[in-house]
Amino acid sequence: MTDLPVAERQGPSVPDVARWLAADAAARPVRLARLRERLDREGVHAWFGTRREDIRYLTGFALAEGEEKVAGVSGQTLISADETVVLADSRYRAQAHDEAPEARIEDVYGDLAERWPELLASLRAIGVAGGAAPGGVRRLAVDAASVSHGTWERLRLASPDIELVPAGDWVAEMRATKEPAELERVAASCLVADRALERLSSSIRPGVTERELALELEWIIRTSGAEALAFDVACLSGPRAALPHGSPSDRTIAAGEVLLFDFGAQVAGYRSDMTRTLFVGEPIDRDERLYRLVSEAQEAAFELLSTTVGSGPEGADSLTPRMVDAAARGVIEAAGKGELFGHGLGHGIGLATHEAPFLGRRAADVPLPFPTVFSVEPGVYLDGETGIRIEDLVVYDPGAARCERLTGFPRGVTVVGA
């Protein structure tokens, strides 16, 4: 496992962003071809998707986090044998033409069910080997995980001769395997986050509140190269660190306590995610012992990943997400703390903060995809007393003999505010 010192890593530049967007444009035909091949194998004639990260991946049209709640159907996409159709109302039409220049933009505003028969009739069906099939679309794959039951029924009734088929996470599975430009953006997001926590460290002292530190960290991230936060900053002190997904409060930081940060940056659409548990003044014995236990568990997972990468692509065929989780979990269980580690070991990251692959006790029992990037974040939580978690992102690519932590902030016992 290799580490890149923070000082030796460069943040995103304007040419970097332009190059990444160009790489996306060049990759989209390949991505669409892969989806069409999948649809053909599944025996469906076209695909209808609504998840914003899938739409950006396939078309280039980008909605901000949460914007889909007000965008209506704008961005929702139909993929047929030879066309990509992006729906957009008047608020998003110009953006859609600019960001999805290869797509046909259809003006739809509150009348999707009315337009539905016409839209489907305009599509040529995917047939053998992804080509066009005679007779048009008769079976349409719909992303059932993101389409409400009400919408499903309205579309079904609008075109009763079209069979709506629940689609699996087909695009999410594609997104789990990362292209080089995608990995570069995750790394750039990690660097922004690393430097932000370094800058914040001087502001950590007894008497400041969780909320004050969270707001300052957000400001640093947003003014240091990130276009947005990957998710809301978590800053939790003392007993509140036992909340794995808690939100900052007005509680003041006290000496002798842990201080847990969980946060990430977003650069050119791609996210980072890191957790660091710091010590405000010298740690008490209990907290330091728990920290070293969590660190040992994380290292066990990294060691398994590194060993697998060293064995090449053939060896990677036997490594599953459950096995990586078990390597870390086994260390904590051996210390008699297994019941204090309730969540999974990690998750993939990219256009979404949580995406495939997922590492946990109930994860898919299939080989890890590669190249990919995911978090490794064991934790131990004593309700009402303390909590420790360490989270890093790792690039996993046995095909290129690469197993690399992208998170550069120190992982050892770190004392602040002394």
pLDDT in tens, 395-414: 999 999 999 999 999 999 99
**Residue with the larger pLDDT of the pair 74 and 145:** 74
Q: What is the pLDDT of residues 130-176, one digit of tens each?
A: 555 556 899 999 998 899 999 999 999 999 999 999 998 999 999 99
Q: Rounded CA gap, 139 and 153, in Å? A: 15
Q: Rounded CA gap, 292 and 289, in Å? A: 5
> Does position 365 have pLDDT exceeding 70, yes or no?
yes
The pLDDT value recorded for residue 132 is: 54
**Residue with the larger pLDDT of the pair 83 and 314:** 83
On whether the CB atoms of residues 333 and 349 are closer than 8 A, the answer is no
Residues 6+ apart with CB under 8 A from 326: 361
> Does position 328 have pLDDT exceeding 60, yes or no?
yes
Q: Rounded CA gap, 332 and 289, in Å? A: 12
pTM here is 0.94
For 179-195, give the DSSP string: PHHHHHHHHHHHHHHHH
Residue for token pair 């695009």: 171
The pLDDT value recorded for residue 311 is: 87
Q: For residue 344, give Cα distances in angstroms to 324, 351, 377.
A: 10, 20, 8
Nearest to 173 by CA among 345, 51, 83: 51
Nearest to 75 by CA among 99, 109, 50, 98: 50
Residue for token pair 């998170």: 407
For the segment 47-74, the average pLDDT, to the nearest whole number, is: 96
On whether the CB atoms of residues 48 and 59 are closer than 8 A, the answer is no
Nearest to 33 by CA among 47, 23, 19, 50: 47
For the segment 281-299, the average pLDDT, to the nearest whole number, is: 98
